[in-house]
Amino acid sequence: MEEYMLPCLNKKFFGVECFGCGMQRALALIFKGEFVQAFYMYPAIYTLILLVVLITINAFKNNKLLSKINTTLAVVNAIIIICSFI
């Protein structure tokens, strides 16, 4: 699976990691069953998976409460990603 991963163009061209660096590797670790290592690789992976699931549910069933939860979870994800990047 690792040989099919996309390279980080930001890291390749500029030598600096981006906010998403580690996400693909963390997802690969989840598929392998290495859940703790996936968290250490990319701390926002589980909240991002939850956010994608809730956004998908909200696409089919439009609910105001679910929209507020999605907004709150998106802000929490942004905070986690920025803090782990720093």
* pLDDT for the residue 5: 67
> Is residue 19 included in any domain, yes or no?
yes
Q: How far is CA 74 from the centre of its chain?
A: 10
pLDDT tens digits for range 18-58:
777 778 888 888 988 989 998 888 888 899 999 999 999 98
> Is residue 40 included in any domain, yes or no?
yes
pTM for this model (two decimals)? 0.75
For residue 72, the surrounding DSSP H or E stretch is helix 64-85
Distance, in Å, from the CA atom of 42 to the CA atom of 24, rounded to the nearest integer, reads: 9
> Is residue 21 included in any domain, yes or no?
yes
Spell out a b/e string for 19-31, using b for 16 or more CB atoms within 10 Å of the CB, else e.
eeebbbbbbbbbe
> Is residue 1 included in any domain, yes or no?
no
| 45 touches 39 (CB < 8 A) | yes
> Is residue 2 included in any domain, yes or no?
no
The count of domains in the chain is 1
> Is residue 79 included in any domain, yes or no?
yes
